[in-house]
Amino acid sequence: MTSRRTANSIENATSSHFHQRLTADNSLLVLIDHQVGHLLTIKDIDQEELRHNVVAFARAARVLGVPVILTSTAPNIFGPTLPELTEALPGVENIERSIINAWDDPKVRQAIKETGRRKVLFSALTTHVCLAFPSISAASEGYDSYALLDGSGTWNETLRVSAIAQMQQAGVIISSGFAAFIEMVHDNANPIAPKVYAALDLPGGKSLSQLLKGTT
């Protein structure tokens, strides 16, 4: 009976996350370990596509006013943060840490807490460690935790599949950065919509942005 009640509580808590829409006012983006050395090891998504996506998400967040937390680890081992990512985030501190799970780093945790937001979008290299660990930790502490798979990557399909299963079992919402930021736009009549689509650099995005500008 207890196990059934616990399972129902988890199911209800998890499903409730889907009922409150992502907005620019309730969300934040956490970018973890998008470093040159890490990127070179990624095999489950095209490396250049991944590079493009994470920079696009950073730019979209800036357009929408969504707080961005940037963190990296052991640059002597994994190299520097992608230079185009830091260029897309002027004025954003890159929090260097030694702790593997970014959620356990006091500076990262404090930065998240200071935003006052409960919907946390995680994008990280690698999926099976640097994405799974903090997203699961955030979910366990009552945050609405989102794993952005198109801004994350790992070494092979087995690690990807097992990480997704692990996160889902812990109540993490599996999503994509493109879906998340378009959800925040909500209405294409919003004057900010063309700017967000341009920042995301979607296929056909320039034509779409021009079309939307003509209708607003």
Per residue in 124-174, pLDDT tens? Answer: 999 999 999 999 999 999 999 999 999 999 999 999 999 999 999 999 999
pLDDT for 13 beyond 90: no
Instruction: Tell me whether the omega of the peptide bond preceding residue 73 falls within 30 degrees of 0, making it cis.
Output: no
Kindly state the average pLDDT of the residues 25-40: 98
Confidence of residue 202 (pLDDT cuts 50, 70, 90): confident
C-beta of residue 81 within 8 angstroms of C-beta of residue 35: yes
How far, CA to CA in Å, does 209 sit from each of 30, 54, 132, 192, 197? 26, 20, 34, 10, 6
Mean pLDDT taken over the chain: 91
Domain boundaries, the chain: 23-91+100-176, 186-216
Inter-helix orientation angle 193-200/177-185, to 10°: 170
- What's the pLDDT tens digit per position in 166-196? 999 999 999 999 999 999 999 999 999 999 9
Q: Cα-flanking dihedrals φ and ψ of residue 171, to 5°?
A: 95, 10
Class of domain 23-91+100-176: alpha beta
How far, CA to CA in Å, does 101 sit from each of 43, 98, 109, 205, 210? 22, 9, 11, 35, 42
**Given phi > 0 = left and psi -120 to 50 = alpha, else beta, which region is 9?**
alpha
C-beta of residue 27 within 8 angstroms of C-beta of residue 60: no
- What's the pLDDT tens digit per position in 58-86? 999 999 999 999 999 999 999 999 999 99
- The 8-class DSSP code of residue 80 comes to P
Global confidence as pTM = 0.88
What sign has the CA pseudo-torsion 156, 122, 39, 109?
negative
* pLDDT for res 113: 98
Confidence of residue 1 (pLDDT cuts 50, 70, 90): very low
Residue for token digits 């930790």? 137
